[in-house]
Amino acid sequence: MFRHNLPLKKISFLAATCGGLLVSLATLSQAGGPPPQQGKPVSQPAETPAATEEPVSEPTPAASPDLRGIPSTPTDAPARFPMPSARVTPSEGMIVIKLVNTTNAVINYQIVGVTQPRTLGEQSEIVLKSIPVPITLTYQRPDGGLLLVRPQATAMPGMLQVSFGATTELEADTKSLQIQEDGKVILN
């Protein structure tokens, strides 16, 4: 006959405890984890300020707001709604785009749904007229080089100048530009 090392009541209690623990962990996981600790962790000894240092005063609960319910965001996180890089005022739903390549490399570009893929030669420019907004302009260097794109409205109403320059900064490189119906220009 098979002998158990633990009585049946102890096994039932152990199973219930483990099941409850699993449910608690799953609930904590779904809720975003345990609540943030207040003050110093218990396992670390309290630091005493040196004799030459000013003592640090803790903010009083009335002076500091309770931020536990507000999700924190890193300071380097991208904005949810990117800020426009420029604005152009469309005329009857149309704009003029002047592309200026200041690099010594060829740039491939396309206005999605409006033009076929085209090439803008090194140190050259082109004016594209009667472009209906909204649009997406895609661009890239065939050699894989990085582009610094600077859109700016011109003195001529309804005209946007887009200058392409070379850069070595990866975070400055973009691959497309969107012009919204209201004339906001967003780099992506």
**3-state secondary structure (DSSP) of residue 19:** helix
State pLDDT tens for residues 16-47. Answer: 565 565 555 555 555 555 555 555 454 444 45
Domain with 175 in it: 86-187
Q: How much is the pLDDT for 177? A: 97
State pLDDT tens for residues 66-98. Answer: 545 555 545 555 556 678 999 999 999 999 999
Asked whether residue 113 is assigned to any structural domain, the reply reads yes
Question: In sequence order, what are the residues at sequence separation of 6 or more whose Cβ sits closer than 8 angstroms to the Cβ of residue 164?
Answer: 99, 100, 101, 102, 103, 107, 120, 139, 147, 148, 149
Give the count of domains, the chain.
1
Asked whether residue 21 is assigned to any structural domain, the reply reads no
pLDDT band at 59 (very low <50, low <70, confident <90, very high): very low
Q: How much is the pLDDT for 114? A: 95
The CATH code of the domain that includes 137 is 2.60.40
Asked whether residue 148 is assigned to any structural domain, the reply reads yes
Asked whether residue 144 is assigned to any structural domain, the reply reads yes
Asked whether residue 70 is assigned to any structural domain, the reply reads no
pLDDT > 70 fraction of the chain, expressed in percent and rounded: 57
DSSP symbol at 24: H
Asked whether residue 49 is assigned to any structural domain, the reply reads no
